[in-house]
Structure 1
């Protein structure tokens, strides 16, 4: 498994309840600033195996981007159960709920970039 993939998994596993990160933010922290689409693929293929809190990952606009209604409803319900409030149907206040890993996490948990 590539270092980037391992880092993405670790980052997503460490997003605390009540917070979110964006696809691009995760890619940047994991070492590939332009790797947002890879984050999507990792989430899609490895969420079950690594028990990733997939619902805590959203787009840069603070929106749920899942297209099917059931999946979007599930993601929103999971986030609301963690105390996240939405503006409108699928948009949250990203500045309020964005998780920003600290330097200790980056140094201790992630492999060298």
Structure 2
């Protein structure tokens, strides 16, 4: 009868209300409603109730994975001398890359800083 809906029926998409969707996402239902109103999470308000597709919730979670992967993993470590948490810091990789670009482009490079340990 409704030929355009055959593909939707064959996929058997699961729908969830706010309470079940919040449990699925492991957040408070009020937080989910705020996310729905802002458009951060996909859903449809049918009458007075929100209806969400489980597939959309999975997609929302996977989108969070992608953004975390792009940020990179940064672990805090404990400083042995001050017991303060610090983020890892690298040496002078950025400086050497910048220097290589300038040399490749024929731009003037600054002299390397001299170590205070060697005179």
TM-score after normalising by structure 1 = 0.29
Specify which structure has the higher proportion of strand.
2
Q: For the pair shown, which has the larger CA radius of gyration, 1 or 2?
A: 2
TM-score after normalising by structure 2 = 0.28
